[in-house]
Structure 1
């Protein structure tokens, strides 16, 4: 059994992940910025620690990761039109998580990104979407360049449909829907997969059971 720190611990994927980690005998540690989330997340079986992604530094991240064996970065600036929060949450939050993990002596790091982040942006791209893509892209570049045992999962179009347990997982895939619950199941699965280290995979809904998809993805 190991403790897994979840950055962005009250997000939609994170709440599914807490459930999946408990089922796989891991102890989830949900890192959140609001005390008001504590009761809900503790009720799901998570340990709750406070961390303000935007206002605290890498040393605070390292302190929040104390006693954990892995970090999962699931945080995002949200669907609003605030381009600045794409930088402060999606990029800087990831960078501080990477440095915090290193400072805490944690090597295993799994990051949720999004498919298509390396594609060129059209000249007419709106400011918010451009900020989002650039933040996710640069966070992935930084993680790939790190000395951590990293895995990057890039889901397609997220839905709130029930888990199917069936996915497609590969270095590149055509964009398609995938449920948040299935994304969480893949995150939980790759944490225990040595072959996923150093891999960046697109994740879509599919017809392959999660464990089999992780074992065979190229």
Structure 2
């Protein structure tokens, strides 16, 4: 399978690329910095140099032609301002969805965030004070999720808890809503890869933290 990943140089994305490559698939990571190409190649992926904030639907759709699935793993980053939470975390996800529809890609996986619908509307507006940036981030994720849920393609929205760099355990707790907790980035990557390769959790949105259920089994329990 050819799987195109927006935010291809992110930590989850590189773990996902390695998993997909090791399984014999063809991951393509979208990056805006050409210097990141070597890192993607080391992870077993091909790089597509493209700035999501400076491209358009037609251009992006052209690069998605023939893809079996797309993954949105991009983000403005912890040091970015509130504005980029909207232009990347929300608008980038919507742009990828528009391009996927235009290119006829039937599978879309969006990495979101746990409890993102709990944002405070009064604090999630621009301009935002420093201590309100997280509220804008949660708003951006929530609005991106809502847009993707309206689409006709086979979408999956994964809302992980606090991300860590610990080794993956291969076991999780998932549900429409779960208590706050941590989850290794490697396990989030495995959730994405398994959902795509096994065709599970289609047209579902769920939260995920570390737990005791094997990832494949956990995804199989999520109702379509």
* TM-score, scaled to structure 2: 0.92
Per-residue CA distance 1:43-68 (angstroms, 9 max, x = gap): 22111111101111111211221221
Whether the 8 Å contact between 1:65 and 1:100 is mirrored in structure 2 is yes
Per-residue CA distance 1:50-103 (angstroms, 9 max, x = gap): 110111111121122122110000001100150010011001101110000011
Partner of 1:217: 222
Per-residue CA distance 1:114-152 (angstroms, 9 max, x = gap): 010112528567331121011100000000011111000
More displaced stretch, 4-13 vs 187-196: 187-196
Per-residue CA distance 1:150-188 (angstroms, 9 max, x = gap): 000000000011111111111111010000011001100
Residue 197 to residue 40, structure 1, CA distance change in 2 (3 Å): same
5+ residue gaps, structure 2, are 125-130
| TM-aligned CA deviation for residue 42 of structure 1 | 1.1
Q: How far apart are the structure 2 equivalents of 1:14 and 1:195?
A: 19
Q: How far apart are the structure 1 equivalents of 2:198 and 2:43?
A: 24
Partner of 1:67: 66
* TM-score, scaled to structure 1: 0.95
Partner of 1:95: 94
Q: How big is the alpha-carbon RMSD for the aligned residues of Structure 1 and Structure 2?
A: 1.5
Whether the 8 Å contact between 1:81 and 1:128 is mirrored in structure 2 is no
Q: Which runs of 4+ in 1 moved over 6 A?
A: none
More displaced stretch, 124-133 vs 143-152: 124-133
Residue 133 (structure 1) aligned with residue 138 (structure 2): yes
Q: What pairs up with 1:107-122 in 2 under 5 angstroms?
A: 107-121=106-120
Q: How far apart are the structure 1 equivalents of 2:121 and 2:36?
A: 39
Q: How far apart are the structure 1 equivalents of 2:36 and 2:179?
A: 36
